[in-house]
Amino acid sequence: MTATGLRFDTAEKRWAGIGPYYAMFPTRFADEVIRQYTEPGDLVLDPFAGRSTAVYSAATQGRVGVGIELNPVGWVYGKAKLSPGPQRTVEQRLAKLATAASGYASTATEMPEFFHYCFSRDVRRFLLAARSMLDWRRRATDWTLMALLLVYLHGKRHDSLSNQMRQTKAMSPEYAIRWWRDRGLTPPEVNPVEFMQKRIKWRYSKGRPKTTKSRVYLGECTELLTRLRGGVLKERSVRLLLTSPPYFGVTNYHYDQWIRLWLLGFSPEPNSRMGRHRERFQDPSRYVSLLNTAFRKAASLLADDGIAYVRTDTREFTYCITLEILGDVFPGKRLTVLDRPLSRSTQTHLFGVVSNSKGEVDLVLEPA
């Protein structure tokens, strides 16, 4: 078997990679940390869950993962990995979208110019049906199909439903239109149902992953962490806090995912200020407040002999603030700093972030 084949030779591996997402944990990294610091049955918490890599890793290794994610895109990816719907019902739902798509002909024609350059007529109609009909917040079948649609919504031509575009980052409409015009690129004529049928069959070909009863919550972690203490974590303590907070000023998780957010029902144009929490990743004082509040509330859920494992950026502001807050929050724990130098270009370069950063760093806090 080839190396590529080995990467996807089990259901757990095949579902682990769902969701292109900025600054995500490598799956292997999360697996290794959880094996090293926990035992089967232990609780693992990630209050900045992203696409739920840490939660999923815990769930597939006999631990119980609990995560919180602010961005609906990452949350949908996590739900699909942890609790995918049955293949048969997902395929049936796809067929219903195909039948309903013709009813969105006039709406597809009236869409903003960007969507006409990005997607063919049939794809636009199909996506509008999915946007309207999929109850991705409440139904396993629907969050599974939605997650798979989000994966392939944009990327390389013929490997996705869109005109040529980065898969991880959605470009601004003006830039994308100009780029496509200059190169004479039109959206690929693809049958969206046949396209997705092939991807669904591949994803389910090894079955569904075997996971513990783990959860990822959609919302603001500084609010939900308090509720967890009176709910799912009322009678149990967290053994491992494994997380990576957003790095200050690197990217805007909502602006850079605006096309996927549109499919989830949000605005049909980029919006860097979606909601009341998003600007905290750009304003220094609000960023400090976010990390301080989140880590203090997470610490209240951690067992006395529990471990906090935090991956962060080596750039001075993010690193120093994270280090200072963790020292204040966990004064009785022994700190180990593990440098993670870069072996190749990181995703930050795709976003135009060029710095003297030599990589990332892991801050491990253990009982003294």
Tens digit of pLDDT for each residue in 211-267? Answer: 999 999 999 999 999 998 877 787 889 999 999 998 887 766 678 899 999 999 999
Whole-number Å distance between alpha carbons of 241 and 309: 6
For residues 53 and 78, the answer to whether their CB atoms sit within 8 Å is: no
List the structure tokens of 28: 């292997």
Q: Which helix (H) or strand (E) holds 80?
A: helix 72-82
**Helix, strand, coil percentages for the chain (3-state, nearest 5):** 50, 15, 40
Picking from 220, 234, 240, 230, the residue whose alpha carbon sits closest to that of residue 309 is 240
The torsion defined by the Cα of 115, 146, 102 and 267, in degrees rounded to 10, comes to: -40
Per-domain boundaries in the chain: 17-82+214-254+277-367, 87-204
Whole-number Å distance between alpha carbons of 240 and 254: 28
Q: Going residue by residue through the chain, which has 368 residues, state the pLDDT in tens, using 9 for 90 and above.
A: 444 556 889 999 999 989 877 666 789 999 999 999 999 999 999 999 999 999 999 999 999 999 999 999 999 999 999 999 999 999 999 999 999 999 999 999 999 999 999 999 999 999 999 999 999 999 999 999 999 999 999 999 999 999 999 998 899 999 999 999 999 999 999 999 999 999 999 999 999 999 999 999 999 999 999 998 877 787 889 999 999 998 887 766 678 899 999 999 999 988 755 555 555 567 889 899 999 999 999 999 999 999 999 999 898 999 999 999 999 999 999 999 998 765 444 433 333 333 444 688 999 999 98
Find out if CATH 3.40.50.300 is the number for domain 17-82+214-254+277-367: no
User: How confident is the model over 173-184, as pLDDT tens digits?
Assistant: 999 999 999 999
For residues 342 and 361, the answer to whether their CB atoms sit within 8 Å is: no
Picking from 270, 261, 362, 357, the residue whose alpha carbon sits closest to that of residue 316 is 357
Picking from 134, 137, 139, 140, the residue whose alpha carbon sits closest to that of residue 153 is 134
How would you classify residue 281: left for phi > 0, otherwise alpha for psi between -120 and 50, otherwise beta? Answer: alpha
Whole-number Å distance between alpha carbons of 30 and 54: 6
C-beta atoms surrounding 191 within 10 Å: 13
Whole-number Å distance between alpha carbons of 292 and 319: 13
3-state secondary structure of 359: strand
182 burial (CB, 10 Å; 0-12 / 13-18 / 19+) is exposed
Whole-number Å distance between alpha carbons of 307 and 333: 9
